[in-house]
C-alpha cells in the first residue's frame, strides 16, 4: 500500500512538473494547448473511491492553476473529469469486469481501449476547461475548435507518455 502511494505520488509530481515547466510554454497557434497532467487522473486504480478521485483531480488542477495564474479553471475541469471517470470506466468495462487493484493503463487493457478512455476523459476535461475560461457561448465554434485540437494534441501526448512509461 505504501509502495503504491509512493508510486502515484512520484507520477503526480513528475506530471505536474512536466506540465508547469514545459507544456505551459507550448501553444500551437493559440488553439491547441497540451495538458498531460490529466494522465494522473487516468491512471489511478479502478477501485479508487469517487470522493478521493474528485479531491485528487481538484488538487492536481489547482496546482496547475497556481502556476498558470488561472482562477480555478483547471481545478474545476480536473474535478469534472475525475467525477466522470467512474461512469466512463463502467461503460468500458471488460465482460468479466476489472481485475482487483486494476490500473486503467495501456499495458493492462491495450492500445485501443486506453486511447478511447483517454480521449473521452480528456475531451470532457477540455470542454469544461475552455467553457469556464470563456464563460460565453457566442464563439461556440472557436471554443469547439480549441477543444478538438487540444483534445487531439493532449490525447496523443498522453498516449506517447503511456507507451514509453512501460518501456515498450
pLDDT in tens, 87-139: 999 999 888 888 878 889 999 999 999 999 999 999 999 999 999 988 887 88
Q: Which long-range contacts (CB under 8 A, 24 or more apart) does 127-136 make?
A: 128/76, 128/77, 128/80, 128/81, 129/35, 129/73, 129/74, 129/76, 129/77, 132/72, 132/73, 132/76, 132/77, 133/70, 133/73
* Residue 96 counted as domain residue: no
Domain assignment of residue 122, given as a range? 2-87+109-165
* Residue 99 counted as domain residue: no
- Interval 56-88: pLDDT, tens: 999 999 999 999 898 999 999 999 999 999 999
* Residue 45 counted as domain residue: yes
**pLDDT of residue 165 exceeding 90:** no
Per-residue confidence band for 29, with pLDDT thresholds at 50, 70 and 90? confident
* Residue 100 counted as domain residue: no
* Residue 97 counted as domain residue: no
Per-residue confidence band for 167, with pLDDT thresholds at 50, 70 and 90? low
* Residue 101 counted as domain residue: no
* Residue 38 counted as domain residue: yes
In contact, 123 and 91? CB cutoff 8 Å? no
Amino acid at each position: 500500500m505504501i509502495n503504491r502511494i509512493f508510486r502515484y505520488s512520484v507520477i503526480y509530481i513528475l506530471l505536474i512538473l512536466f506540465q508547469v515547466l514545459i507544456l505551459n510554454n507550448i501553444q500551437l497557434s493559440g488553439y491547441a494547448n497540451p495538458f498531460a497532467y490529466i494522465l494522473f487522473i487516468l491512471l489511478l486504480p479502478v477501485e479508487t473511491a469517487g470522493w478521493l478521485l474528485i479531491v485528487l483531480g481538484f488538487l492536481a488542477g489547482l496546482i496547475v492553476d497556481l502556476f498558470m495564474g488561472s482562477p480555478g479553471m483547471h481545478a474545476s475541469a480536473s474535478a469534472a473529469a475525475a467525477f466522470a471517470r467512474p461512469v466512463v470506466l463502467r461503460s468500458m468495462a471488460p465482460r468479466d469486469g476489472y481485475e482487483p487493484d486494476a490500473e486503467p493503463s495501456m499495458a493492462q487493457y491495450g492500445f485501443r481501449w486506453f486511447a478511447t478512455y483517454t480521449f473521452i476523459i480528456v475531451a470532457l476535461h477540455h470542454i469544461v476547461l475552455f467553457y469556464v475560461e470563456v464563460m460565453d457561448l457566442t464563439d461556440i465554434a472557436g471554443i469547439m475548435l480549441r477543444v478538438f485540437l487540444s483534445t487531439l494534441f493532449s490525447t496523443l501526448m498522453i498516449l506517447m507518455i503511456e507507451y514509453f512509461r512501460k518501456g515498450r
